[in-house]
């Protein structure tokens, strides 16, 4: 993976102590310390082929105020002994899911350079690759090691092209781990580009394990899967480890679990709508470094999409769609707030028929009225780390939960959104005029869209916008077999998991 010897990054610690959540160490000329939440792993060398046993303590320090080039500081401390407090962080080498074995197991690292604020490549070069290198250097007994395939994305189609190649290749490897340095968009591109309609038990289908490192904007899937590790039921933070530290811990210590998916189907004539840059020029925005000023609208016919995060119609989908249009993209990061403010001011009542089928029911229930403000189903608890849209959702439970309210006006809509940011306190909201927020588990959702204006006919599937013709339908249901697995911390597994 790297021609640079990882020993150059090691610091010899003559003494290491740990107490009250603080790890301290002494080197030849200084004394330093960090918090437990900065610990990525402690590499135990007692079983390694090297001549000198001991430990390598990996610490990640992050400073969001610094430039990307200096935002991440990786410390690798070599010590003869460690305090007992650090033993829970021990690993003895690369886990099997990160070890490529020719003909048996493939490993890919996908570095999505455009995700979030563009930190994926820096994180790969400054953090993940050095960690991977040091583990291999000190624990591998093989003279020649298989190395993972590394994809540095070049454009918006890179992940989809990579995924299509996976589906087209029928090699002898029976399993594959894909490490994604991206946001939810990279996950969506993968699950919709790798063919997975065949039964997962098929002998020809390669088992795909996704490992997530949260370098996107919302990172809804990652935060929802890790929520038990950092939040209480009330939403208050109980662990201060950063999302990236948690992601690295899961990468090196995680276990495989089935990834729940849903299927969103659309009426004939439905089209994916997106805007892609035709030229790149700097945007005049002090708060943003985006360059996509000249955008071309692309439309692609679509019959269905698979999702892992959210399907929505109304206020949520309009924010996602309109913030991506040329009119708002020129405003950089400010565009999301601007779009939300405009939509709240207009408070458009979305005209549609909404029907749901509840678990174990055979009949459908149709909601009263044909005006709606917010229709959203999700298998996740959080759309952002602090935005708890479905507080009853648990990691991996696969249950779809509906959040719905009618045209309550901009002030009430804003109030509900703020309550969602306050640990999911929007649940149970109701008003004296009969309006209320519905929050319930459903197995299926149908939305028949009756809008004349194309602007209000957009639905959102994990960030992908689909325009549905008037009278057309969005239908969402759970997938029984997703064909994908995801790496999770063992502590989030359901109690009945093996």
Lowest-pLDDT range, 234-238, 334-338, 460-464, 483-487? Answer: 234-238
Residue with token string 């016919």: 301
Q: Are residue 310 and residue 404 in the same domain, yes or no?
A: yes
pLDDT at 336: 85
What's the total number of domains in the chain? 3
- The pLDDT-based confidence of 377 (bands split at 50, 70, 90) is very high
The answer to whether position 497 is within a domain reads no
Nearest to 306 by CA among 52, 47, 482, 49: 482
Q: Domain for residue 498, yes or no?
A: no
Please count the other Cβ atoms lying within 10 Å of the Cβ belonging to residue 421: 15
The C-alpha atoms of residue 391 and residue 426 are separated, in whole angstroms, by: 10
Average pLDDT, the chain: 88
Write the pLDDT tens digit of every residue in 232-253: 444 444 457 899 999 999 999 9
4-16 mean pLDDT: 70
Indicate if 378 and 280 belong to the same structural domain. yes
Q: Does residue 313 carry a pLDDT above 70?
A: yes
- Tell me the Ramachandran region of residue 300: left when phi exceeds 0, alpha when psi lies from -120 to 50, beta otherwise: beta
209 three-class SS: strand
Q: Which pair of tokens denotes residue 380?
A: 């996740």
Cβ-contact 186, 217 below 8 angstroms: no
| Domain end (from 45, 75, 91) | 91
pLDDT at site 203: 43
Residue 29 lies in a domain: yes
Instruction: Give the model confidence (pLDDT) of 156-208 as tens digits.
Output: 889 989 988 886 665 557 899 999 999 998 999 999 998 765 434 444 567 89
Q: Once rounded to an integer, what is the mean pLDDT over residues 361-365? A: 96
Same domain for 417 and 391, yes or no, is yes
Q: In this structure, are strands 464-467 and 350-357 parallel, antiparallel, or unpaired?
A: unpaired
β 39-44/382-384 pair status: unpaired
Q: How far is CA 330 from the centre of its chain?
A: 26
Q: How far apart are CA 243 and CA 219, in angstroms?
A: 10
As a whole-number percent, the residues of the chain with pLDDT over 70 amount to 88
3-class secondary-structure state, position 256: strand
Which percentage of the chain shows pLDDT scores above 90?
68
For residue 169, the number of C-alpha atoms closer than 13 Å in the C-beta half-sphere is 14
pLDDT value of position 302: 96
267 shares a domain with 155: no
Q: Where are the alpha helices (DSSP H) in 201-292?
A: 220-230, 243-253
Q: Is 423 in the same domain as 378? A: yes
Collapsing DSSP states into helix, strand and coil, what is residue 418? helix
pLDDT tens track for 77-93: 999 999 999 999 999 99
Give buried/exposed letters for 350-376 (b at 16+ CB in 10 A, else e).
bbbebbbbeeeeeeeeebeeeebbbbb
**Pair (254, 286) in one structural domain:** no
* Shared-domain flag, residues 307 and 433: yes
- Of residues 7 and 151, more confidence is placed in 151
Query: Which pLDDT score is estimated for 81?
Result: 93
Of 472, 475, 476, whose CA–CA distance to 269 is shortest? Answer: 472
CA nearest neighbour of 447 among 296, 216, 270, 294? 270
Mean pLDDT of 429-443: 96
Instruction: Output the pLDDT for position 466.
Output: 97
Tell me, yes or no, whether 385 and 295 share the same domain.
yes
CA 213 to chain CA centroid, Å, is 7
CA distance 275 to 294: 9
Does the residue 429 lie in any domain?
Answer: yes
Assess whether 77 and 114 both reside in one domain.
no
Residue 303: is its pLDDT beyond 50?
yes
Q: In the predicted model, is pLDDT for residue 379 greater than 80?
A: yes
Cβ count within 10 A of residue 412? 18
Burial class (CB within 10 angstroms; exposed 0-12, middle 13-18, buried 19+) of 2: middle
- Looking at residue 154, the DSSP 8-state letter turns out to be -
The answer to whether residue 1 is domain-embedded is no
Strand partners, 355: 366, 446
Please, which residues bridge with residue 56 across strands? 43, 78
Q: Which three-class secondary structure string do you get for 425-439?
A: CCCCCECCCCCECEE
pLDDT 10s digits, 314-347? 999 999 999 888 888 777 778 888 999 999 999 9
Specify if 471 maps to a domain: yes
Answer yes or no: is 470 within a domain: yes
Q: Which domain holds residue 100?
A: 96-260+483-492
Quick one: 180 and 76 in the same domain?
Answer: no
**pLDDT of 235:** 42
The pLDDT score that the predictor gives to residue 126 is 95
Please give the residue that has the higher pLDDT: either 332 or 21: 21
**Do 160 and 215 reside in the same domain of the chain?**
yes
Least reliable range by pLDDT among 151-155, 324-328, 438-442: 324-328
Instruction: Give pLDDT, residue 169.
Output: 61
Q: Please determine, for residue 383, whether its predicted confidence score (pLDDT) is greater than 50.
A: yes
Q: What's the rounded mean pLDDT across residues 8-23?
A: 87
CATH of the domain at 217: 3.40.50.10330
Beta bridge partners of 281: none
Per-residue pLDDT band at 4 (split at 50, 70, 90): very low
- The residue from 48, 65, 91 where one domain ends is 91
Contact 390, 437 (CB under 8 A): no
- Judge whether residue 392 has pLDDT over 60: yes
Q: Is residue 399 part of a domain?
A: yes
In the predicted model, is pLDDT for residue 74 greater than 70? Answer: yes
What was the pLDDT predicted at 293? 54
**Residues 376 and 420 sit within 8 Å (Cβ to Cβ):** no
Paired tokens of 322: 């309109």
Listed residues 29, 63, 91: the one ending a domain: 91
One domain for residues 288 and 174: no
Residue 286 confidence (pLDDT): 42
DSSP reduced 3-state for 335: helix
> Which CA distances in Å does 49 have to 87, 130, 135, 136, 147?
21, 20, 12, 11, 19
Lowest mean pLDDT among 8-12, 17-21, 131-135: 8-12
């Amino acid at each position: 993976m790297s021609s640079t010897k990882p020993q150059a990054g090691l610091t010899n610690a003559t003494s290491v102590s740990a107490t009250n959540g603080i790890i301290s160490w002494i080197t030849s000329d200084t004394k330093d310390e960090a918090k437990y939440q900065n610990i990525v792993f402690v590499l135990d060398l007692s079983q390694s082929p090297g001549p000198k046993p001991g430990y390598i303590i990996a610490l990640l320090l992050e400073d969001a105020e610094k430039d990307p080039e200096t935002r991440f500081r990786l410390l690798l401390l070599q010590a003869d002994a460690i305090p007992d407090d650090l033993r829970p962080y021990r690993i003895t080498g690369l886990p099997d899911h990160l070890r490529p074995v020719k003909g048996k197991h493939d490993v890919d690292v996908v570095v999505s350079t455009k995700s979030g604020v563009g930190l994926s490549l820096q994180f790969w070069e400054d953090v993940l690759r050095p960690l991977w290198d040091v583990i291999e250097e000190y624990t591998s007994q093989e003279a020649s090691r298989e190395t993972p395939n590394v994809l540095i994305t070049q454009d918006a189609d890179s992940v989809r092209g990579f995924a299509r190649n996976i589906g087209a290749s029928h090699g002898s490897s029976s399993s594959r781990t894909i490490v994604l340095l991206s946001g939810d968009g990279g996950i969506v591109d993968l699950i919709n580009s790798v063919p997975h309609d065949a039964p997962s038990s098929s002998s020809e289908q390669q088992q795909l394990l996704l490992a997530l490192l949260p370098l996107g904007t919302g990172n809804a899937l990652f935060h929802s899967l890790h929520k038990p590790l950092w939040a209480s039921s009330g939403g208050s933070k109980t662990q201060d480890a950063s999302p990236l530290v948690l992601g690295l811990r899961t990468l090196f210590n995680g276990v495989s679990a089935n990834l729940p998916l849903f299927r969103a189907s659309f009426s004939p004539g439905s089209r994916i709508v997106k805007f892609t840059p035709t030229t790149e020029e700097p945007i005049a925005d002090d708060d943003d470094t985006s360059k996509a000023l000249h955008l071309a609208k692309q439309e692609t016919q679509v019959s269905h999409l698979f999702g892992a995060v959210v399907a929505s119609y109304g206020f949520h989908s309009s924010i996602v769609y309109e913030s991506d249009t040329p009119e708002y993209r020129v405003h950089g990061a400010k565009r999301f707030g601007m779009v939300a403010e405009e939509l709240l001011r207009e408070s458009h009542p979305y005209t549609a028929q909404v029907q749901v089928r509840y678990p174990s029911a055979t009949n459908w229930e149709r909601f009263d009225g044909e005006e709606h403000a917010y229709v959203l189903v999700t298998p996740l608890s959080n759309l952002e780390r602090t935005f708890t849209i479905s507080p009853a959702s648990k990691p991996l439970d696969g249950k779809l939960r509906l959040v719905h309210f009618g045209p309550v006006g901009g002030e009430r809509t804003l109030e509900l959104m703020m309550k969602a940011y306050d640990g999911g306190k929007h649940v149970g909201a109701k008003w004296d005029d009969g309006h209320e927020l519905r929050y319930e588990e459903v197995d299926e959702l149908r939305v028949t869209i009756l809008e004349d204006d194309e602007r209000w006919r957009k639905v959102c599937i994990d960030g992908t916008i689909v325009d549905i013709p008037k009278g057309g339908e969005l239908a969402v249901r759970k997938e029984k077999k997703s064909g994908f697995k995801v790496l999770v911390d063992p502590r989030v597994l359901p109690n009945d998991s093996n």
